[in-house]
Every structure is written in structure tokens, then in C-alpha cells.
Amino acid sequence: MQKMSTIVIKAHEYLEHDPGAGHPESPRRLEAIYERIGEPDISELFTALSPREAAVEELRWNHAGAYIERIERTAGVPHFQLDPDTATSAGSWKAAILAVGGVFTAMDKINSAEADNGFALVRPPGHHAEHDHAMGFCLFNNVALGAHYARRVLDMKRILIVDWDLHHGNGTQHSFYDNNEVLYFSTHQYPYYPGSGAANQTGEGEGTGFTVNVPLSAGAGDKEYAAIFNRILTPVARKFNPEFILVSAGFDIYHNDPLGGMKVTEKGFAWLSRVLLDLAAQCCNGKILFCLEGGYNLTGLKEGTAAVIKECAGSSILSKKDISTLSEADTLTPTASQALDIQKRYWDVK
């Protein structure tokens, strides 16, 4: 069997989830990404794969049965409002189970060494979805379920989730807050939606120290994010030594995103990806999967995704100067410095 270097999960069914006219999380987001990765500089760098459906029994690993049934009953219904921000359409149930199943499909290929790494370009997003309710445009928690899959099916004991989305992944944090087999690391604008993610939220019970929140004020850009990944994430991840890395890749930290106040460019996304790919190479034979979360500026989505895929495939947009500048970034924002001080209780960070 020929090895696929970088894989991308795509499906036309993901476009059938439509929360309604004027909603920020529209099918156009993914259409724009699919168009961009079809261009010549990207299209030869990956192998596209179709997702399988996640089974209800698999969804139950992270979600209440009654909630799953509620979402399933929306199948074929033109519009159903779950909360003020989150709605379904006739195709949402199918899209949602294919989003989760797409993560599983990619993880299987990467774990079996049929692929080096991958990007699950899925909708709807997932990191706000809680055990028993939808939230923040999310139906099922794709990445959290991926971590459950790693533990239950792939027999892994250490899974690292890195969430660089603008918004804190409350659902993901709650899924593993008392668990020491899943390390959740999040950078996010704070205080902001959904309100969780303070630096002193570090886990409880056996999970104490295995939630790492780095809240940020608006205005952080490439160098600020690079410093966090260089000084906090890297030493923590090396010590944790994950067997698989899952990334909640939200492109709403892009400098022109309408929902956010961050200043990250496509080169910033490339650097964050490079750090994570290096960690995967050091810790877990390169086993890493990026999963699409937010991002509401179409240019940011297109160029951010392209930057990540190029980095995965070893075709970087970063110049030698960019690499030098970002690798040396070590100045933390005040809130990131506070997070670093808190993490000194649990990890060897300086």
C-alpha cells in the first residue's frame, strides 16, 4: 500500500449543515477552503479522503444519549434552533456524524502509519459542544471524541489537545477536567465568549495540572503566540510526552476576523503548525491531526488552512528570517506570564 504523506478529510455533506441566512458559521467557510486547496500550489500536497459516519455508541463516549437523540431528530427538518447561536438544518445530523467520523478516519490512517499527518476539514465545529447541549455553533465535540477514540480504540494513555481557536473550548475542557490521560492546552481571547478559560482553571482530582489555559487580551499576534508555544507549550508537551496530538485549529485569531481581536497572520499559523509538527516528531512518531474549528474571514480561512497544509507537507511559506524571528520569540504578554507562573506548580516551565 502506498503511503499518503498528508491527508485531508473532505465531504460535500459538510456543506449541507446550514445554520441560516446571515449566520457566521456558513457553508461558504468550507467552500472557500475547498476552493483554495484545489489550487495548484496546494492540491498536489495531500491526499483527500472521505469520512465514515460516527456511530451513536461512539458519540455516547462524550455526549448524553438524550442529547444525541435530540440532534438526530433534527434530520430532515429545515431549521431547528438549539440555542441563540446554534441551529440545525435538514443535513446537519449527517454532517455532524461525518465530522466526528472524519476525525476517526484520519486518526486510523495516521496511527497505522498509512499517513504522516492530516487535517480534518469538517463542519460543524465542535469545541464548545458540552455533554448534554449544543453551544457556540457546535453540535458534537469532534476533537474530544477524537481523544476518546485514541484512548478506547487506539489504546493510548496520553493525548495532547492544543486549541488555538479565538474562543475557549469549554466543552473540551469539561470533557477531561478530572483526567490525567488527556492534556488540554488552550490559548484564547479572555474575557470573551464563552467566559471559561481563566488561567487558574487547571483541572481537578487526578486531572489537576492537565488543563493549561493561557488567556490573552485582544491584540496578540504572531510573536506573542510564538512565545507562548515556545516557552509554555513546548516544555509542557515534551514532559507529557503524548502518543497523539489533536489540534483544534480555529482561524478566528486571524488579524481581520470579524469575531475576534487578535493579529495573527498566515505566517503565524505556519509557525504554530511547525512547533506542533516538531513536537509530534519528537514525542509520538509524528502522529498529529489538525481539526477545523472557527474562523470567519474567508481570506484568513483560506490562507491559514493553506499554510497549515503546506507545513504538514514540508512546503513552508516561512522564510529563514521568519523562522529565526519566531523561534526566538520569548516575550510573553502579561496574562500569558501569569499563566506561566501558575503552570510552574505542575510543569518545568521558565
Q: Is position 128 annotated as part of the catalytic site?
A: yes
Place of cell 496546494: 42
Cell numbers 504578554 correspond to 333
In the chain, which ranges are E strands? 4-9, 47-49, 80-83, 86-88, 115-120, 159-163, 182-189, 211-216, 244-249, 288-292
Rounded to 5°, the CA angle 279-242-284 comes to: 60
The gap between the terminal CA atoms of the chain, to the nearest Å, is 45
- Grid-cell match 526566538, residue found: 328
Measured N-to-C along each axis, helices 298-312 and 266-283 cross at an angle, to the nearest 10 degrees, of 30
From the list 17, 63, 127, 128, the catalytic residue is 128
Q: Quick one: which of 323, 228, 208, 223 has its CA closest to 263?
A: 223
User: 54: number of CA atoms within 13 Å, CB side?
Assistant: 32
Cell of 4: 499518503
Strand partners, 185: 162, 212
Residue 217 burial (CB < 10 Å; 0-12/13-18/19+)? middle
- Please give the backbone phi and psi of residue 101, each rounded to the nearest 5 degrees, phi first: -65, -30
Residue type, 139: L
Beta strand pairing call for 211-216 and 115-120: unpaired
Pairing of strands 244-249, 159-163: parallel
Bridge partners for 163 per DSSP? 186, 248
Q: Which residues are catalytic?
A: 128
